[in-house]
Chain A
Amino acid sequence: GAVVSQHPSRVICKSGTSVKIECRSLDFQATTMFWYRQFPKKSLMLMATSNEGSKATYEQGVEKDKFLINHASLTLSTLTVTSAHPEDSSFYICSARVAGIGELFFGEGSRLTVL
């Protein structure tokens, strides 16, 4: 299957700082990537759809200015958590869909802890 790489896998930061998480499709081009947030023992919440070369589409209730998404190339999307606070601590997972194939391929996730 297609490989999606996510980095970093774990990050700890101080409250008020910004953190960038990268999501790369390693062996395919992804015009669309998705960012999810997962709370402990909970399902995945879609945060936004990242579109290459255009603005991301955010789900209702997700702060655009808080969670900045950039999809500068066909293989890279980034999520920046700005002015992070402890309540932003979570597991963030990106995914991408290969054109013509139904399923999504997921990154390994990034555990963010804000102190």
Chain B
Amino acid sequence: AQSVAQPEDQVNVAEGNPLTVKCTYSVSGNPYLFWYVQYPNRGLQFLLKYITGDNLVKGSYGFEAEFNKSQTSFHLKKPSALVSDSALYFCAVRVTGGGNKLTFGTGTQLKVEL
């Protein structure tokens, strides 16, 4: 079975500071990893993905994530947070050859304050 853990329910950051939203995963096989963002009463928007290749993945809105196989992590990062980044962030995993099913983490609420 595949699973995703987001250990922090909420992350608070001051605008202009770097932000990190943590994600660890557990799969048997090679993972496809994703980050999505959700604004209130909206669907999920795709941010970035790791399939293969470079461990550092760059995505939308200045976000990036680093795939670390030894630590089974895929933390989301941004060098300088904006107030408009405040939203709910989901990490998700799919196993190669495991069909289309995505398993989501429980979500981390990011709050960026002035």
Contacts of B90 in A (CB 8 A): 43-44
- In the complex, the answer to whether A102 meets B32 with C-beta atoms within 8 Å is yes
State the Cβ distance, B93 to closest chain A Cβ, in Å: 11
Chain B residues with CB under 8 Å of chain A are: 32, 34, 36, 41-46, 49, 51, 88, 90, 94, 100-102, 104-107, 109
Known: A93-B43, A106-B44, A106-B45. A43 touches B51 (CB 8 A): no
Nearest first, the 10 closest Cβ-Cβ pairs linking A and B are A106-B43, A106-B44, A108-B43, A43-B106, A109-B43, A103-B46, A43-B104, A44-B104, A107-B43, A102-B32
Question: Interface SS of chain B: helix, strand, loop or mixed?
Answer: strand
Closest partner residue, chain A, to B88 (CB atom): A41
8 Å CB contacts to B: which residues of A23-75? 32, 34, 41-44, 46, 49
Closest partner residue, chain B, to A32 (CB atom): B100
CA gap between A102 and B107 in the complex, in Å: 20
State the Cβ distance, A83 to closest chain B Cβ, in Å: 26
Contacts of A4 in B (CB 8 A): 43
- In the complex, the answer to whether B49 meets A102 with C-beta atoms within 8 Å is yes
CA gap between A42 and B105 in the complex, in Å: 9
Chain A residues with CB under 8 Å of chain B are: 1, 4, 6, 32, 34, 41-44, 46, 49, 91, 93, 95, 97, 102-109, 111
Question: Can you report 27 residue pairs joining A to B where beta carbons are below 8 Å apart?
Answer: A6-B43, A34-B102, A41-B88, A41-B107, A42-B107, A43-B90, A43-B105, A43-B106, A44-B104, A49-B100, A49-B101, A91-B41, A93-B44, A97-B100, A102-B34, A102-B49, A102-B94, A103-B34, A104-B46, A106-B44, A106-B45, A106-B46, A107-B43, A108-B42, A108-B43, A109-B42, A111-B41
